[in-house]
A and B are shown apart, each in its own frame.
Chain A
Amino acid sequence: MSQPCRAVIIFCKVNGIDYEEIKVHISKGQHLTPEFAEINPMKQLPAIADGRFKLFESHAILIYLACAFPGVADHWYPADVFKRSKIHSVLDWHHSNLRRGAAPYVFNTTIAPILGRPLNPQVAAEAEIILSSSLSKLESFWLKGNGRFLLGGNQPSIADLSLVCELMQLEVLDEKDRTRLLGPHKKVQQWIENTRNATSPHFDEVHRVIMLAKERQQHQRLKAAKNEGGSNMKRPLVSRM
């Protein structure tokens, strides 16, 4: 369910990097155990261990994998210093912008109860402002020009993978909210599709968990709506006579 975990796993699959996936269930608090703290004292996912080398923070992990494993095509993390710098730039921007908007917005409108936490509409409202602004900046600046990917590229980089995985979290939202947020941004929608196609079939495989969560959420919303409608009908008609 973690956006940056999905980016790392898709990257490994697409590039034929052999790996062992060790599940750490956030919903069960497994990331808070002393065992996991040995792997990552920040108690966050993803984290990797490659022999004795441990690493956390998904952007650092993606860069490490791109550099350390042979056979990873150059477009993922180009050797050219100018292209590489631009990738660093958008990855850094992501932290304080798209991630800072998308993650708390989705959490505080939808996901929190799954983890036994309350929804926080105020945080959600503040996060929505940051999310909308970030989507606008993606549409008008990062996706400027005729390239199919960020920074005018015609092939995906680790930046595309990281940011698109973040946006896929919006799938669990109420459809009307998702449409309201993404609807105005045609280039963003096309870019999500381009990234999905470029990393097929792994993208859909890894996002199955999100699509299942989306179905469950839709089911619950329908149920809640029916119950509301049902109870209205059950209210007795009071005679005025």
Chain B
Amino acid sequence: MKLKVYADRLSQPVRAVIIFCEVNGIEYEEIKVDLANREHLTPEFSEINPMQQLPAIVHGTFKLFESHAILIYLASSFPGVADHWYPDDVYKRSKIHSVLDWHHSNLRRGPITIVQNSILAPVFRRPLNPEAVAEGEKILSAALSKIESFWLDDNRPFLLGENQPSIADLSLVCDIMQVKLVGETDWNRLLGPYKKVQQWIENTRNATNPHFDELHKVLKELKEKLQN
């Protein structure tokens, strides 16, 4: 009963799920669903996820979508996943739920609005939309500001004052990494004011390497392809 992960590594939440599997030695089969070729809109994939989104998993007869739900399921169902990813302690766990929920309505819409209206617009057959990009940058900055001032403790490497990463660190950092697609200059401009955030991204990367770099290679490759 091998886990199947329906994936396109271009998708931030897909990367979070795959990095989690790799880091925790969870055996899985990656089934590519090409977003640029609209494979997520096929009737076959709708059988897996009627919302036509990635990631989705199938584990035996059990199907599941929404990356936070998937990460929690994997942390709870596979032996050998260290407690810090999704702690048993009800207080720590609740705080993780809190930041994951906050993410949906705050951070998540930032990077995706920026990249889909600029560099990824042609890939998804959309027009460039500088107004939407500006809106996305505002959303991102507001979210980064809250991470810098509230979610990250002064002296601890990960969210919520923790010394080790949780599924929340993985989910949020993978989302922010999408901004790499717009290039180093813009990345530095957008992330520049937030020193704790930059350090936290590095901490999460180090805690999950080499898988983090491996999964994020797709962004470098795509950027080069689109620039040529």
Name A residues whose Cβ lies closer than 8 Å to a Cβ of B.
Answer: 41-42, 53, 55-61, 63-64, 67-68, 81-82, 84-86, 88-89, 92-93, 95-96, 99, 137, 140-141
Bound CA span A64–B101, Å: 13
Summarize B's interface: helix, strand, loop or mixed: helix
B57 and chain A: residue at smallest CB distance: A85
Bound CA span A28–B168, Å: 34
Using A81-B76, A85-B64, A85-B73 as known contacts, say yes or no to A60 and B90 having CB atoms under 8 A apart.
no
Chain B residues with CB under 8 Å of A55's CB are 94-95, 98
Contact A60 B69 (CB under 8 A): no
Among the listed B72, B73, B94, which residue makes an inter-chain contact with A64, where contact means beta carbons less than 8 Å apart?
Answer: B94
A48–chain B nearest beta-carbon distance, Å: 10
Q: How does the 8 Å CB contact mask read for B24-60 relative to A, with 1 for contact and 0 for none?
A: 0000000000000000000000000011000000000
A94 and chain B: residue at smallest CB distance: B104
Bound CA span A215–B76, Å: 47
Category for how many chain B residues contact A: 20 to 34
Chain B residues with CB under 8 Å of A60's CB are 94-95, 97-98, 101
Summarize A's interface: helix, strand, loop or mixed: helix
Contact A64 B62 (CB under 8 A): no
Contact B102 A89 (CB under 8 A): no
Bound CA span A99–B109, Å: 14
B87–chain A nearest beta-carbon distance, Å: 12
Using A41-B150, A88-B66, A95-B101 as known contacts, say yes or no to A137 and B51 having CB atoms under 8 A apart.
yes
Contact A59 B101 (CB under 8 A): yes
Using A68-B90, A85-B64 as known contacts, say yes or no to A92 and B98 having CB atoms under 8 A apart.
no
B96–chain A nearest beta-carbon distance, Å: 8
Contact B64 A89 (CB under 8 A): yes
Q: Does B155 contact A (CB under 8 A)?
A: no
Bound CA span A68–B90, Å: 7
Using A42-B146, A93-B51, A137-B51 as known contacts, say yes or no to A57 and B76 having CB atoms under 8 A apart.
no
A34–chain B nearest beta-carbon distance, Å: 15
Contact B91 A81 (CB under 8 A): no
- Can you report 21 residue pairs joining A to B where beta carbons are below 8 Å apart? A55-B94, A55-B95, A55-B98, A58-B101, A60-B94, A60-B95, A64-B97, A67-B90, A81-B73, A81-B77, A84-B76, A85-B69, A86-B69, A88-B69, A88-B73, A89-B65, A89-B66, A92-B69, A92-B104, A93-B66, A95-B105
